[in-house]
Structure 1
């Protein structure tokens, strides 16, 4: 989650909220009143509040109305939230189910953070070791029996190869094991695994 938050109050003018979004390059703002979360304002809700281009109002009248409009007039009041100790996948599921791109994080009634799609993308890249560099290997395990991963990791450890991340994707026709190693000796790694009887689907060098 992002813990350095930019927030507004229900009485904040719409123009000021827009300025904050531009200044910090963000697309939504939690709305706090007496340190309690009471709503959420996004670029979408602001856009919906703007007068239509087909309006008969003059520019002066439009600006006058917008100057009178505050966050409370257009904010979302039914806000889905999540706790800081929830699993990441719980947050993803909640966002997918409700077709939303942001979840404020509440510890009790206190706002401690916010999760957006970009935070989830960053977490995924971290989990896969994308920025670490090294070698990415995919193995196909036809017989997924107990101890398979233990044997693979022991083989790599015996050859002094350090594992950064490991993911097992279970499918109907076998299990795909994807391993990120710190070493860039891609050919050597492939040879070690192949000689041990493992089916190497893919082995590529990755850069940080």
Structure 2
């Protein structure tokens, strides 16, 4: 999975000369928390709610309300925006984006291709990706198998058992821990006890087998 599979492509952008108040209005109108800043179609900065809040005069200021409003009306995005912006390539692995965001403690990465802004990827996009990867919206049976004797071909053996029972696999997540390997498989059936029974009979340690509802059913 790459960044381009989950990035936001329909962008709301501003320019360095955009007044701060207009940037705030755009964020509220579109229910977003940051805006890429473009000049001549090139990314030159990033403006966020946090940056704007930090630029606002302190409540302890001696300025009058009139003076504060005057200063804010004169302030543009270019005056306060973050100019050193981390970016990422659309073909980068999704894990690369997560690593860069975690390492640099940022919640968004503009996506640049051929020096052009083609999207952004945010924390929320990462959360959406996780829900998709784990099959959260699909429903079915989520079966968790603990494997203590991990070896080459173990996943093929496990999936063959499911195939023999004519079950479609929706997602597979493997978590290799120190003492065991945990495999979570979501299959397209709601007969969770039957899944538990035939996997147990095949010699697997089934930790759990539970029915998961599609998101539209859970709401």
- TM-score if structure 2 supplies the norm length? 0.94
Give how far 1:48 is off: 0.5
Q: How does 1:68-87 map to 2 (within 5 A)?
A: 68-87=74-93
Q: Which stretch shifts more, 28-37 or 180-189? A: 180-189
Unaligned runs of 5+ in 2: 1-6, 215-219
Which of 119, 132, 144 is 1:126 aligned to? 132
| 3-state secondary structure, aligned to 1:32 | strand
**Which residue pairs with 1:97 in the alignment?**
103
Give how far 1:145 is off: 1.0
**Which residue pairs with 2:189 in the alignment?**
183
Deviations 1:79-131 (A, max 9, x none): 00000000000000000110000000000210000010000000011001011
Moved over 6 A (4+): none
CA distance in structure 1 between the partners assigned to 2:174 and 2:46 by the alignment: 38
Which of 111, 118, 127 is 1:112 aligned to? 118
Give how far 1:46 is off: 0.2
Which of 152, 174, 177 is 1:146 aligned to? 152
CA distance in structure 2 between the partners assigned to 1:137 and 1:79 by the alignment: 42
**Which residue pairs with 2:171 in the alignment?**
165
CA distance in structure 2 between the partners assigned to 1:14 and 1:7 by the alignment: 13
Q: How does 1:10-49 map to 2 (within 5 A)?
A: 10-49=16-55
- TM-score if structure 1 supplies the norm length? 0.99
Unaligned runs of 5+ in 1: none
CA distance in structure 2 between the partners assigned to 1:185 and 1:149 by the alignment: 22
Deviations 1:22-61 (A, max 9, x none): 0000000000000000000000000011000011111111
What is the number of equivalent residue pairs in this alignment? Answer: 208
**Which residue pairs with 1:53 in the alignment?**
59
Q: Which stretch shifts more, 32-41 or 142-151? A: 142-151
Give how far 1:168 is off: 1.1
Deviations 1:121-149 (A, max 9, x none): 00011001011000101101111111111
| 3-state secondary structure, aligned to 1:63 | helix
CA distance in structure 2 between the partners assigned to 1:39 and 1:28 by the alignment: 11
**Root-mean-square deviation over aligned CA pairs:** 0.5
